[in-house]
Structure 1
């Protein structure tokens, strides 16, 4: 790590500023790079957007993005160049051999990324070249699928594939610009080449209002960044590994962990909001018109703030957090496993891919396993509540203000408490760290999931038995009534004879 930082030309200046404000120098460079998207957007709209030659636009984005990458990672910028060039030449040679190309493209990028994780991994979530590279890997894999979709007949493509399929192969300069697009290459969001193409062709510039929407997103990002920094000063990660935390009362422990998880999430959310604001300002995020006929600039939104803050379940978090990556996985992994004809297997494979994409640390795999278990449990609870509880006591519960208050408090408490449980492994990464935190809160997440599973399956077991008995008794009664009717009809039949 020392050799890496020494070769950066701005090391002395950046280290001085970082130590002065009390943040890691890597985090400061990351923040400056994200914020630089705003002046770059202003410069592009003022001087570059009016130029007719599209190659000038591509050179601007490729040059700015590669320069910002070097500002952050120095000579390690070559990793991203290798990835982009490899995909470009694979397309030139193997595009028409779709299966071979897709396999080689996928295996190369995932192998390169995993090797990068192997040689740079530590106990922390480090800001290294592997961070933007994992974004680039998805971009190049998705680009490969879009290229091969362009060779297919329209009738073979789904609605999503029709929107992203590429009929013509972009030039190397276009691919570099797409890969290094400022405010998009470092922390996301994911977007297909077709969106970049539409933007360059000027299809989004006819709409106004992007500056106002972008500034609003910048303000939201700055707010979340401040809340994150203040919150993590009260609840730093290291606190949850100390004996002092384990000595706090159980209720406080689980709530402290939940609030810490919210503040930790805000770290990612603030970066995505700041990035999205710059992309809105430059005009990349146009999505069409909203229900009021106004331009909708949410095309690259990576977080749904309203759902995130008002939602009550883990499923709400899944749908509101890292939206573009989830959409990417849905389009290029989950839906392309349709041939398996099993949604559970496809969903498991998608979560498995996400875990591997994040790296080797056991915390990632535990996190996505918990996501699967918790979301599945939530669906079971919802079914039980709507099919068993409400039909019997709904008329009483729905008219009770006390019940409504308790219901709200319970859901919010669950939201906070289980968020802490689910995010613990993701942040602490290694088994020997996250298991300490799990132990400090008495493994409550596992215990409640197990207790619910026992109750749910036991109830359904006996419910099925009782249902069968009732069905049997009904069948017996029906048979008896049938026999009785038959016997009553017999004398009449004889009489008629």
Structure 2
């Protein structure tokens, strides 16, 4: 196309492949387009659907040169729609699942056979997002055909009692800010955006009637939160552009690795892990910001501050990832919408009513997650290691963490051994710091396989890293298996049986807590909204998390490393 020389020149300046420059440009184009989209009146829904379809087609064909890829996406869409409309049996969602995932797997295999590098942009990325949408759509229609008493709260909120016509369905599938790399969401969320009913949630102290009576339909705060994500995405993009090659995991495979000392090698692994994450931070921050600008991110109001929440389609929580003290927090904060999809459309759907989930459900969820990502061996190595560290994290939380906590009988007002910091005491702080360091160093080791992908490259890289993560995991598993868990349990029982000696202390009166600032004083000049925008309140469909192995390790090790664990919740 006529704009290819522009992107080629930008590629030479930035140092990134032209395909990646183009896809970043599409994310940036989505911001001004989102400003136009949000102004489409709710009484013109077909215009909004066509708007997304036209923009998505422009992104795919003339910009990215994925005309054949567009055909693949349309095949998945129309095939799903025909199955949903024509098949009314209880197995309809599973037929859609097999059709969509089979089509995706074929394209993953094609990419593998063609030998595309990670820098090459093909249709599989968009097809992965579309697969989540289509399978979710099939289950939403299926739920609409069931009785309300047979559904849980999240299923009731997202069920579809009428199949939409093809145009709204395609508008949902090709929603322009997110169809390339996500995030995904259910059809009810998209429909409420188009009809502007997504904004009907009343602020604290008001009613829905008052909200509908106001002329302003889009709540305040949308632009500043969206542009905060834009700035954040550009910053991480700049970091990756500058250090992406210098701190790439592939450098571990070069002869230069042996010229470094052990401390330098260890430090490089930690840096490489962080730099690899900045790529995902940049992409997902940019797309989430564009989604917020369309209004689809609106998620009500914070009950404490009254501020608007824009985390409905949040896909990543950077602060939680970088400060995670457990793998539970880490994996719940990474690729959030995929975790929700696996939980709601695979794990929960395989559990029969009145039964508890077990190994079969966990294994099916793990296989789905693995094949959804692709067929490269590095994904499976990373998932297996991720499952092991998550399972061990659960062990430490259950049997080791209580030793660092104050006795249950201690009042929360007890003197703190770490002045000027809130309760708990110093030993718990030390435990948290150690937990954070273990999460980070193991994550950065495991991530090497997720980035390098090839089996030989992954094994060579892990060998040159000294296998430190498998050694730590193996040592911990041997400890728990060789009687460590039994000893820790007995110690905890003895600890609980010790009677606390009553103590009496005379303390001065506690100072009065400052009054909470009224909602109307939190204006745009108050920079605390930045921290508020990064907060991660529970999702409206929050529930059991799904780790990298979907709980397979816990199920297989039940009674040994992980006693009594039958759910995919992570520590």
Using the size of structure 1 for normalisation, the TM-score is 0.85
Residues 399 and 489, structure 2, Cα contact 8 Å, conserved in 1: no
How big is the shift at 1:444?
1.1
What is the correspondence of 1:121-132 to structure 2 with a 5 Å cutoff? 121=112, 122=115, 124-125=117-118, 126-132=120-126
Q: Indicate the SS of the match to 1:341.
A: coil
Q: Measured at CA, do residues 243 and 403 of structure 1 come closer, stay the same or move farther in structure 2, by a change above 3 Å?
A: farther
1:252 matched residue in structure 2:
264
Report the counterpart of residue 47 of structure 2 in structure 1.
Answer: 56
1:124 and 1:237, CA in 2 relative to 1: closer, same or farther beyond 3 A? farther
Tell me whether 150-159 or 14-23 shows the greater mean CA deviation.
14-23
Q: Is 1:303 paired with 2:295? A: no
Residue 332 of structure 1: aligned partner: 345
| 1:167 matches 2:161 | yes
Q: CA deviation at 1:458?
A: 1.3
Name the structure with the higher helix share. 1
Deviations 1:201-242 (A, max 9, x none): 112344232111111111111122222223324312321111
Alpha carbons of structure 1 residues 51 and 298: separation in structure 2 relative to 1, 3 Å: closer
Write the mapping of 1:56-455 to structure 2, written as runs, cut at 5 A.
56-70=47-61, 71-76=63-68, 77-94=70-87, 96-99=88-91, 101-121=92-112, 122=115, 124-125=117-118, 126-203=120-197, 204=199, 205-291=217-303, 292-339=305-352, 341-343=356-358, 345-387=360-402, 399=417, 407=431, 410-455=434-479
Does the CA-based 8 Å contact 1:258-1:418 persist in structure 2? no
Provide the aligned C-alpha RMSD in A. Answer: 2.6
- Equivalents in 1 of 2:326, 2:242: separation in Å? 25
- Is the CA contact (8 Å cut-off) linking 1:421 and 1:445 kept in structure 2? yes
Judge conservation of contact 2:239–2:275 (CA < 8 Å) in 1: yes
| 3-state SS, counterpart of residue 64 of structure 2 | helix
The verdict on how the C-alpha distance between 1:67 and 1:342 changes in structure 2, with shifts beyond 3 A counting, is same
Q: Secondary structure at the match of 2:38?
A: helix
Shift of 1:460: 4.1
Residue by residue, what CA displacement relative to the aligned partner does 1:332-374 show, whole Å, maximum 9, x if unpaired? 1122222262355534432321111111111111111111110
How far residue 51 of structure 1 moved from its aligned partner, in angstroms, is 6.4
- Paired residue secondary structure (1:98): coil
Note the C-alpha offset of 1:74: 2.9
CA offsets per residue over residues 267-303 of structure 1, 9 Å max, x none? Answer: 0111111111111111111111112222211101111
Looking at structure 2, the residues matched to 330 and 175 of structure 1 have their Cα atoms a distance apart, in angstroms, of 23
Q: Give the 3 Å change call, closer, same or farther, for CA 212–402 of structure 1 in structure 2.
A: closer
Task: Tell me the residue number matched to 1:23.
Answer: 16
Q: Which region of structure 1 is more displaced relative to structure 2, 398-407 or 163-172?
A: 398-407
Structure 1 contact 123–428 (Cα < 8 Å) conserved:
no
C-alpha distance in 1 between matches for 2:18 and 2:288:
23
Name whichever of 453-462 and 64-73 sits farther off.
453-462
Contact 2:30 2:290 in 1 (8 A): yes
Report if the CA contact (8 A) 1:231-1:260 is conserved: no
The number of aligned residues is 454
Q: CA 1:256–1:209 in structure 2 vs 1: closer, same or farther (change >3 Å)?
A: same
Q: Secondary structure at the match of 2:66?
A: helix
| Superposed displacement of residue 441, structure 1 | 1.2
Q: CA 1:404 to 1:137, structure 2 compared with 1: closer, same or farther past 3 Å?
A: closer
CA deviation after TM superposition for structure 1 residue 388, in Å: 5.0
Asked if the contact 1:135–1:185 (Cα under 8 Å) also holds between the matched residues in 2, the reply is yes
1: CA distance, partners of 2:453 / 2:15: 24
Q: For 1:242 and 1:151, locate their aligned partners in 2 and report how far apart those are by CA, in whole Å.
A: 58
Structure 1 residues 410-456: Cα deviation after superposition (integer angstroms, max 9, x where no partner) = 34432331121111111010111111110001111111111111111
Contact in 2 for aligned 1:225/1:267 (Cα 8 Å): yes
Shift in alpha-carbon separation, 1:382–1:87, aligned structure 2, 3 A: same
1: CA distance, partners of 2:337 / 2:387: 19
Distance between the aligned counterparts of 1:461 and 1:209, measured in 2? 50
